[in-house]
Structure 1
Amino acid sequence: MATNSDETSFKDKTFRQYAPEQAQAYASNRHAYHDNLFKVILAHHQATGGTLGTLLDVGCGPGNSTRPLARHFANAYGIDPGAQMIDVARGISEEAVEKGEPETSSGKPIVFVEGTAEELEGPWRGDGRKVDLLTASTAAHWFDLPRFYASAAQVLNKGGTIAFWASARFYAHPSMPNAARLQEAMVRLELDVLGPYELPGNKMCREAYRTLPLPWTIDPPIEGFSEAGFTRHDWDEEGKLSDGEHFFLGDYTITLAQLQKSIGTASMVTRWKEAHPELVGTEEDVLVKAIKEFREIIGGEELTVGLDCYLLMLKRD
């Protein structure tokens, strides 16, 4: 699969143009990923020669995925092009420092920097430390990947790891009454109602990164990474529980109001709201209508849901 920089640039301005209240809502209503995922990443990283010196989380947003991993590293950084996202991330870190809560294994706070995945400019380049683990949580589909890989090759130590992961969608837990009907309604919301507001990056995420360009599939290939060092994991595809009982990322019993807030942080929803400001919060709001349908299906206010998960890991030669 040959690709070039133009074909792999799916930049989305939605998150980088967030207002302060939008960035705060994102931080509050997006769950941090389950420790199950971080255990797999750290185990693979260390088993393949990676060390726990420096973490760099790219497209970090408010730092929801940065913090659980930072506790294992002596130095931790987050970089994001959204100024408001970085402000929220810094604010949360300042609160942790004030409470005396260490964010890294060395006790240093996480450093959050406004910047892009394509340049990866920051203090990790000039202070004698190279990056050991580079992560991107639900973000790689917005990168200009040829440029990102070239920059990543410059900042990663040999034996260092890139870990990309994301989730395609929410799923109703199969133990729920009317789970199949609820799932059909969720998919209709995503594909039929919000589909017109999908960008190529959203589609790549929905397709579980199966078309995500990798360094050796780009024309010309990006040096520094080999296909032999590539690993992929998939959990709970199409909502079919990998262990037959629980979602890998955890089962969540939440209210419909909480589900509405969580779905409301999706970029496609933000773009729908921008296109229909007069309908936001009315009976014609797409989320108001969807939640009403969900309520009729489950006959109540609570539901148990989970997320699928896919993880791609690459090694620096």
Structure 2
Amino acid sequence: MAHKYFDTVSHAAIYSKFRPKTPDALVQRIVAYVSEKIPGPLEVAVDVGCGSGQSTEALAPYFSKVLGVDASETAINEANKKVKISNVTYGTSAAEKLNFQDNSVTLVTAGQACHWFNLPAFYEEVKRILIPGGTLALYGYQLPRPMYRGPTAKDLSPIIDKFYGDTLGSYVQQGSRECYIGMYSNEKYQIPLATRPLQRDDSVYLEQKGTLADLIGYVSSWSAFQYYLRENGEEKAARILKEFENELLATTGSNKKPEETDITVRFKYFLLLGRKAL
């Protein structure tokens, strides 16, 4: 079974608020690959492990019908709260047992999610539901690279790395490391569809403006932090977030509040593409 890291409403809401939206440049790269073998109009896209829907809605301009599925009912409830796009719908489904007919789906995506799946079972389901020539796209992003843009620019990346690797180190699960650090380089992410070699694209990045408060909210959405919270309680979890905040503020030299301290954050993406035989 896929892991359920959104079993509390609060975590699903945090994820929805602070996780980055999938860059259009990445979606365009996926669509271009799909279109090499399948002439338009493109019909059905399924986003597996969709969470609160940031990755799902990015597909809407390119497909007639887009469905986001996730094992967590609370994540799907969060997605349904904000969906306003007529060709996007959401539902609960395990990645390893997808409720779609054989040979019915043009594209399957999994954004920042497949490292939690039972991959052999997921791959079998993908092969079953994809139409001939259909595409599976797996993608994610590395740890964020935040920069303070005050009077003197400061790279805050070392603080992120320390919080992830040291403060939360024993709470970080292997799947998370394979994504954030390994960029899906492990052999098990080599999509076992007919097309070889597997296509890979590491060229896309997203840069967005925000505040230190946004960055703190983002790290609180990490599965490792949520695991720390469950194991140690709210008081200790709040303490390590406060220490993280204090270190950020000290490094920037800002005398403003976190929500008033502006930063720019870069997310570097990686993408793997495979195609079912025609």
TM-score relative to the length of structure 2: 0.88
Match of 1:274 in 2: 230
Letter in 2 for 1:49: I
Q: Secondary structure at the match of 1:227?
A: coil
- Shift in Å at residue 280 of structure 1? 4.5
1:161–1:289 Cα change, 3 Å: same
Shift of 1:309: 0.8
Give the alignment partner of residue 56 of structure 2, picking from 66, 83, 89.
66
**Aligned match of 1:309:** 269
Distance 2:14 2:163 in 1: 21
CA distance in structure 2 between the aligned counterparts of 1:290 and 1:187, rounded to whole angstroms: 11
Give the deviation of 1:116 after TM superposition: 0.7
For the pair 1:263 / 2:232, whether they are aligned, the reply is no
Counterpart Cα distance in 2 of 1:86 and 1:184: 34
2-side partners of 1:87 and 1:205: how far apart?
26
Cα distance in 2 between the residues matched to 1:67 and 1:309: 18
Partner Cα separation in structure 1 for residue 77 and residue 220 of structure 2: 21
Opposite residue 14 of structure 1, the aligned amino acid is: Y
**In structure 1, what is the equivalent of residue 101 of structure 2?**
125
Counterpart check, 1:295 vs 2:243: no
Question: Given the superposition, is the C-alpha separation of residues 50 and 227 from structure 1 closer, same or farther in structure 2, using an over 3 Å criterion?
Answer: farther
The amino acid that maps onto 2:199 is T
**Equivalent of 1:14, from 5, 9, 12?**
5
* Cα-to-partner distance string for 1:6-32 (whole Å, 9 max, x where unaligned): xxx8x43322x2x22321221122121
CA change 1:83–1:290 in 2 (3 A) is same
Q: How many residues align?
A: 268
SS across alignment from 2:214? helix
Whether the 8 Å contact between 1:50 and 1:161 is mirrored in structure 2 is no
8 Å CA contact 1:50–1:160 kept in 2: the answer is no
Identity %: 25
Contact conserved, 1:50 with 1:132, CA < 8 A, in 2? no
Q: What does 1:19-38 correspond to in 2, within 5 Å?
A: 19-38=8-27
The aligned runs of 1:169-184 (5 Å cut-off) are 169-173=143-147, 177=152, 179-180=154-155, 182-184=156-158
Aligned residue identity for 2:269: C
What root-mean-square deviation, in Å, do the aligned CA atoms of Structure 1 and Structure 2 show?
A: 2.2
Counterpart for residue 226 of structure 1 = 195
> For residues 288-314 of structure 1, what are the alpha-carbon distances to aligned partners after superposition, in whole Å with 9 as ceiling and x for unaligned?
111110111112222222111101111
Take 2:195 and 2:32, find their aligned partners in 1: how far apart are those partners?
A: 20
How far apart, in 1, do the equivalents of 2:116 and 2:272 lie?
15
8 Å CA contact 2:105, 2:130 repeated in 1: yes
CA contact (8 A) 1:167 1:309 kept: yes
Contact 2:228/2:237, CA 8 A, preserved across alignment? no
2: distance between equivalents of 1:199 and 1:56?
A: 26
Change (3 A) 1:286 1:48: farther
Match of 2:46 among 56, 60, 73: 56
Say if 1:67 and 1:103, in contact at 8 Å, map to a contact too.
Answer: no
Shift in alpha-carbon separation, 1:215–1:293, aligned structure 2, 3 A: closer
Deviation, 1:173, is 4.2
Change (3 A) 1:281 1:189: closer
Q: What CA distance in whole angstroms lies between the structure 2 residues aligned with 1:215 and 1:312?
A: 8
For structure 1, the residue ranges without an aligned partner over 5 or more in a row are 1-8, 97-101, 105-109, 217-221, 236-247
Does the C-alpha gap of structure 1 residues 225 and 288 become closer, same or farther in structure 2, counting only changes over 3 Å?
Answer: farther
Judging by fraction of residues, say which structure has more strand: 2
Q: Which amino acid aligns with 2:109?
A: T
Deviations along 1:233-253, one digit per CA (max 9) or x if unpaired, are 113xxxxxxxxxxxx433222
- Contact kept in structure 1, 2:147 and 2:157, CA below 8 Å: no
Question: In the TM superposition, what whole-angstrom CA distance separates every residue of 1:217-260 from its partner, at most 9, and x where no partner exists?
Answer: xxxxx5x43323x210113xxxxxxxxxxxx4332221111111
Residues 163-202 of structure 1: CA deviation (Å, up to 9, x unaligned):
111012011349874544x222221111111110011111
Inter-CA distance 278–60: structure 2 relative to 1 (3 Å threshold): closer
Partner of 1:45: 34
CA distance in 2, matches of 1:212, 1:53: 31
Contact 1:32 1:64 in 2 (8 A): yes
Q: Quick one: structure 1 residues 50 and 266, their matched pair in 2 at CA, closer, same or farther if it must change by over 3 Å?
A: farther
- Return the alpha-carbon distance in structure 2 between the equivalents of residues 112 and 203 of structure 1: 28
Q: Is 1:167 the counterpart of 2:127 in the alignment?
A: no
> How far apart are the structure 1 equivalents of 2:157 and 2:144?
9
Relative distance call for 1:172 and 1:62 in structure 2 (3 A) is: closer
1:204 aligns with 2:160: no
